[in-house]
C-alpha cells in the first residue's frame, strides 16, 4: 500500500474487465461517477455485476448500453426527474439482467459487513416482505449460489434466533466485497485522503468494502490542507488504489458545493431511456459522439454549466430553475 | 376562534395538509421525497415546530432554506444537527428506535396495509418493474406509526398486492410464508406499523385486526365512491364524516413558505 497511483479516466476504465463486480459512490442523483460510466460504455464493458445500495441515473446509463448482467440493489430511478429506471426494468422483464432485490437498509447492512470484514450483519428491518420470499431468490434460480463465484453468497440471507438476549428471529445479511469501488469524491489529497462535502451517504463503507478503489475527484488538493480538519475526511490514502482528477465527473448528477443536479439533462435522458432505440440515439450523441469527458463538458456549454454552479456558501445553485414558478 | 377554511384549493393541497396533521409536535419523522416532504415541512412551520425531520440519505433535523428535490439534496444538510450517511439514519436513528412517524408512498396497497413498489405481475416474470423498495419497508417496519400518501385508483387498492415490498399488519412469516399478524413476525423487535393511508379521496385507518377502514372522506366525495375505488371490500361503516378542509393559513404556508418554487405543488 502507499500513495494511490494517478491515472487518466481512460486508463482507469481500462483496468475494468468484462464480468467484474462493481459498486459506486453517491446517492440516487448525487455524486455519481458518471464520467467513469460513460467511459465504460465507450470501452464496451460487458456482463458487469453491480451491487448498489441504491441505483440512479448512472445505473441506467450502464444498463441501457447493455453493460450490466447482474444487479443487486433496492431502487433505481431519477428521483423527481424520471420516476422509473426504465433500462433496468426492461432488462428484468426481458430477462437480460438478473435482478436481486433487497431493502435499502438491508443493502446498507451488506456493505457495512463488507466494510468491517464481517461475513454478515444482523438487521430486523423489512422482515415479513416478499424480499425474503425463497421463491424470489433470482440468483439461486440462475444457479449462481453454488459457491463457484466467491463474491456471491450461498444464501440470499439467513434468519437466526437471537441466542444472546432471546429477542427472537432476526435477519443476517451477507457481506458485499466487490472487486471495485468506483468513487466520485469532492476532494482528494495528493496522498489520497478523501473528503466528501455535505453528507457522506455510504461512501466510506463502500470504499472499505471493495478489493480495489478508484477515486474520480472533482479536484485534487494538498493532503496537508485536508489534514487540518481530519474529522471531515472519510478515507485514508492507503485505502485508495487509483486517483483520476476529472472536473464535472458527476454531471448530470449533483456534487454539493460544486454543481447542482442537471434536471433538464436527466429528464431528457429519462425520456430517451424508455426504449432501446431512443437510448442508442441518445448515447450516440452524448457518449459515442464525444471523444472524452473534456469534449462532453465542452458540448454542455458554458451557459448551462454556469447555471448549475453551486453557491459557495449554500452548496447548491440558486439560479437553476427547479419548479414551475 | 373559528377556523378560516379555504374554499379554493387543489386535491394535492388537501393531501399535504391532511398528512401534515398526522405529525404531533415533537415527533421524530422519517420522510421520503415528494409529498412527504411537504407534509413534514408544513407541520414544522404550522403546528409542530419541535418535530424533527430525518432524510434517509444522511441528514438529521436539517433546516433547509429551500425545498429539497430529493432526500440526497445538499439542501437537506443546511443547518442539520447531523449530516452523516445511511448507516446513521437507518441504524443510528431508525433501528435504535428514535423514529415516531414515517411518511411513505406506494404504487399498490392491500387491506392489511401491505404495499408494493417493486413489480406488476409475478415477480419471477414481471410485466412491469417500478423503482423497487428503497427505504420504504425499512421505515415502515421500524417507525412507531407509518402514514402512506397515495393516489386513489381502483387498480391500486387490491385484495392482494402482486409483491409485498413493505410490510402491513398481516404478513408472511418466512421461510414457510404463512400469513400472521405483524407482531408475530417482529416479536420483541416490534415497534408499530401503518397507522393511516391518505389519498386524494379520503383518510383510511386500521382496526385492531389490522384491516383498513375509511375514517373520513374528502369534501366532494362520498364514502360509496371511495368504496367503489377499491378492489377489496372496504369497511365504510366507521366513517366519521368529512376530512377537515385546509385553512387559508395552511394553504398560504404551503405555497409561500414550503414550496414557493412549485417543485411538488402545481
Q: How confident is the model at residue A33 (pLDDT cuts 50, 70, 90)?
A: very high
Picking from B162, B226, B237, the residue whose alpha carbon sits closest to that of residue B197 is: B226
Q: How confident is the model at residue A1 (pLDDT cuts 50, 70, 90)?
A: low
Is the Cα dihedral B228, B234, B240, B242 positive or negative? negative
- Cβ(A104)–Cβ(B133) below 8 Å: yes
C-alpha grid cell, residue B102: 414515517
CA A307 to chain centre: 25
Distance, in angstroms, between B9 CA and closest chain A CA? 17
Strands B119-120 and B178-181: unpaired
Interface test with B, best of A78, A127, A200 (most B CBs within 10 A): A127
Option in A79, A104, A310 nearest B69 (CB): A79
Strands B82-83 and B128-129: unpaired
Query: pLDDT over 70 for what percent of chain A?
Result: 99
Is residue A305 one of the residues assigned to a domain? no
Option in B91, B132, B141 nearest A74 (CB): B132
Picking from B69, B208, B38, the residue whose alpha carbon sits closest to that of residue A263 is: B69
A163 and chain B: CB distance < 8 Å anywhere?
A: no
Is residue B29 one of the residues assigned to a domain? yes
Is residue A75 one of the residues assigned to a domain? yes
Stretch A9-26: mean pLDDT, rounded?
Answer: 98
- Domain with B194 in it: what CATH number? 3.40.1080.10
Distance, in angstroms, between A14 CA and closest chain B CA? 30
Tally the C-alpha atoms within 13 A of residue A210's C-alpha that lie toward its C-beta.
30
The packing angle between helices A57-64 and A276-286, to 10°, is 110
B108 is catalytic: no
| Residue A210 three-state SS | coil
Distance, in angstroms, between A88 CA and closest chain B CA? 8
CB within 8 Å: B171 and A128? yes
Is residue A228 one of the residues assigned to a domain? yes
Contacts of B129 in chain A (CB under 8 A): 84-85, 88-89, 92-93, 99
Option in B123, B136, B166 nearest A136 (CB): B123
C-alpha grid cell, residue A101: 432485490
Contacts of A99 in chain B (CB under 8 A): 129
Tally the C-alpha atoms within 13 A of residue B265's C-alpha that lie toward its C-beta.
26
Is residue B41 one of the residues assigned to a domain? yes
The length of chain B in residues reads 266
Option in A138, A141, A198 nearest B77 (CB): A198
Interface test with B, best of A57, A100, A103 (most B CBs within 10 A): A103
Strands A48-51 and A21-24: parallel
Per the structure, the count of domains in chain A is 1
pLDDT of residue A233: 98
Contacts of A257 in chain B (CB under 8 A): 74
C-alpha grid cell, residue B224: 360509496
Residues of chain B whose pLDDT is less than 50? none
- Cβ(A49)–Cβ(A27) below 8 Å: no
**Residue range of the domain that includes A161:** 5-245
A62 phi/psi in degrees, rounded to 5: -70, -45
d(CA B110, CA B224): 18
Contacts of A93 in chain B (CB under 8 A): 126-129
Strands A169-174 and B202-206: unpaired
CB within 8 Å: A159 and B58? no
Strands B202-206 and B193-198: antiparallel
The residue whose grid cell reads 473534456 is A294
- Cβ(A130)–Cβ(B121) below 8 Å: no
CB within 8 Å: A201 and B262? no
- H helix count then E strand count, chain B: 7, 16
**Residue range of the domain that includes B68:** 11-258
Is residue A266 one of the residues assigned to a domain? no
Is residue A286 one of the residues assigned to a domain? no
Selected residues 273-312 of chain A with any CB under 8 Å from a CB in chain B: 310
C-alpha grid cell, residue A310: 453551486
A234 phi/psi in degrees, rounded to 5: -110, -15
pLDDT of residue B1: 65
Identify the closest residue of chain B to A258 by CA–CA distance: B74
- Cβ(B174)–Cβ(A154) below 8 Å: no
Is residue B106 one of the residues assigned to a domain? yes
Contacts of A163 in chain B (CB under 8 A): none
Is residue B54 one of the residues assigned to a domain? yes
Is residue A115 one of the residues assigned to a domain? yes
- pLDDT tens, residue by residue, A132-165: 999 999 999 999 999 999 999 999 999 999 999 9
pLDDT of residue B19: 97
Contacts of A104 in chain B (CB under 8 A): 56, 86, 90, 133-136, 138
Is residue B115 one of the residues assigned to a domain? yes
CB within 8 Å: B185 and A53? no
A76 and chain B: CB distance < 8 Å anywhere?
A: yes
Picking from A79, A311, A85, the residue whose alpha carbon sits closest to that of residue B56 is: A79
- pLDDT tens, residue by residue, A208-250: 999 999 999 999 999 999 999 999 999 999 999 999 999 999 9
Is residue A283 one of the residues assigned to a domain? no
Neighbour-count burial of B1, counting CB atoms closer than 10 A to its CB (0-12 exposed, 13-18 middle, 19+ buried): exposed
A77 and chain B: CB distance < 8 Å anywhere?
A: yes
Is residue B246 one of the residues assigned to a domain? yes
Per the structure, the count of domains in chain B is 1
- pLDDT tens, residue by residue, A269-306: 999 999 999 999 999 999 999 999 999 999 999 999 99
d(CA B162, CA B159): 10
Query: pLDDT over 90 for what percent of chain A?
Result: 97
The residue whose grid cell reads 440512479 is A56
- Domain with A119 in it: what CATH number? 3.40.1080.10
| Residue A34 three-state SS | helix
- pLDDT tens, residue by residue, A178-203: 999 999 999 999 999 999 999 999 99
Picking from A316, A252, A275, A296, the residue whose alpha carbon sits closest to that of residue A57 is: A252
Is residue A270 one of the residues assigned to a domain? no
- Cβ(B236)–Cβ(B207) below 8 Å: no
d(CA A254, CA B31): 21
Picking from A266, A235, A237, the residue whose alpha carbon sits closest to that of residue A250 is: A266
Instruction: Count chain A–chain B contacts defined by CB atoms under 8 A.
Output: 236
**ipTM above threshold 0.95:** yes
Option in B85, B126, B262 nearest A202 (CB): B85
Amino acid at each position: 500500500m502507499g500513495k494511490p497511483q494517478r491515472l487518466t479516466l481512460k486508463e482507469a476504465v481500462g483496468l475494468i474487465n468484462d464480468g467484474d463486480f462493481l459498486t459506486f459512490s453517491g446517492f440516487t442523483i448525487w455524486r455519481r461517477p458518471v464520467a467513469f460510466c460513460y467511459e465504460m460504455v465507450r470501452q464496451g464493458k460487458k456482463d458487469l455485476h453491480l451491487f448498489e445500495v441504491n441505483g440512479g441515473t448512472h445505473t441506467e446509463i450502464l444498463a441501457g448500453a447493455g453493460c450490466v448482467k447482474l444487479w443487486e440493489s433496492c431502487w433505481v430511478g431519477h428521483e423527481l426527474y424520471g420516476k422509473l429506471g426504465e433500462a433496468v426494468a426492461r432488462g428484468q422483464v426481458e430477462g437480460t439482467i438478473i435482478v436481486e432485490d433487497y431493502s435499502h437498509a438491508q443493502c446498507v447492512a451488506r456493505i457495512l459487513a463488507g466494510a468491517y470484514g464481517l461475513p454478515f450483519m444482523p438487521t430486523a428491518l423489512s422482515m415479513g416482505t416478499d424480499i425474503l420470499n425463497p421463491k424470489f431468490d433470482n440468483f439461486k434460480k440462475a444457479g449462481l449460489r453454488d459457491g463457484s463465484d466467491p463474491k456471491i453468497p450461498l444464501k440470499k440471507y439467513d434468519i437466526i434466533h437471537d441466542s444472546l438476549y432471546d429477542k427472537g428471529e432476526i435477519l443476517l445479511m451477507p457481506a458485499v466485497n466487490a472487486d471495485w469501488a468506483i468513487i466520485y469524491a469532492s476532494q482528494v489529497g495528493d496522498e489520497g485522503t478523501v473528503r466528501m462535502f455535505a453528507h457522506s451517504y455510504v461512501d466510506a463503507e463502500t470504499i472499505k468494502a471493495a478489493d480495489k478503489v478508484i477515486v474520480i475527484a472533482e479536484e485534487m488538493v494538498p493532503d496537508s490542507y485536508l489534514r487540518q480538519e481530519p474529522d471531515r475526511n472519510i478515507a485514508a490514502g492507503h485505502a485508495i488504489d487509483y486517483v483520476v482528477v476529472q472536473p464535472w465527473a458527476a454531471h448530470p448528477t449533483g456534487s454539493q458545493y460544486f454543481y447542482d443536479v442537471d434536471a433538464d439533462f436527466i429528464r431528457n435522458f429519462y425520456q430517451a431511456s424508455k426504449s432501446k432505440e431512443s437510448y442508442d440515439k441518445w448515447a450516440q450523441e452524448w457518449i459515442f459522439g464525444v471523444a472524452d469527458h473534456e469534449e462532453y463538458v465542452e458540448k454542455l456549454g458554458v451557459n448551462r454549466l454556469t447555471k448549475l454552479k453551486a453557491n459557495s456558501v449554500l452548496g447548491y445553485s440558486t439560479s437553476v430553475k427547479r419548479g414551475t414558478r | 376562534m373559528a377556523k378560516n377554511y379555504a374554499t379554493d384549493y387543489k386535491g394535492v393541497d388537501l393531501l399535504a395538509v391532511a398528512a401534515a396533521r398526522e405529525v404531533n409536535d415533537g415527533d421524530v419523522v422519517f420522510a421520503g421525497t415528494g409529498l412527504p416532504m411537504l407534509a413534514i415541512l408544513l407541520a414544522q412551520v404550522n403546528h409542530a415546530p419541535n418535530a424533527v425531520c430525518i432524510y434517509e440519505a444522511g441528514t438529521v433535523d436539517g433546516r433547509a432554506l429551500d425545498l429539497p428535490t430529493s432526500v440526497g439534496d445538499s439542501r437537506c444538510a443546511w443547518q442539520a444537527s447531523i449530516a452523516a450517511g445511511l448507516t446513521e439514519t437507518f441504524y443510528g436513528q431508525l433501528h435504535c428506535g428514535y423514529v415516531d412517524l414515517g411518511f411513505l408512498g406506494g404504487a399498490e396497497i392491500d387491506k392489511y396495509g401491505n404495499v408494493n413498489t417493486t413489480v406488476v405481475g409475478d415477480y419471477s416474470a414481471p410485466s412491469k418493474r417500478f423503482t423497487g423498495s428503497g427505504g420504504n419497508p425499512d421505515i415502515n417496519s421500524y417507525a412507531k406509526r407509518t402514514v402512506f400518501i397515495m393516489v386513489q385508483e381502483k387498480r391500486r387498492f387490491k385484495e392482494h398486492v402482486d409483491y409485498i415490498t413493505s410490510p402491513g399488519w398481516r404478513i408472511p412469516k418466512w421461510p414457510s410464508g404463512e400469513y400472521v399478524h405483524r407482531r408475530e413476525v417482529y416479536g420483541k423487535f416490534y415497534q408499530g406499523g401503518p397507522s393511516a393511508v391518505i389519498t386524494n379521496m379520503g383518510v383510511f385507518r386500521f382496526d385492531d385486526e389490522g384491516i383498513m377502514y375509511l375514517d373520513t372522506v374528502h369534501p366532494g366525495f362520498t364514502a360509496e365512491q371511495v368504496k367503489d375505488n377499491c378492489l377489496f371490500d372496504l369497511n365504510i361503516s366507521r366513517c366519521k364524516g368529512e376530512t377537515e378542509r385546509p385553512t387559508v393559513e395552511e394553504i398560504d404556508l404551503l405555497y409561500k413558505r414550503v414550496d414557493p418554487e412549485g417543485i411538488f405543488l402545481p
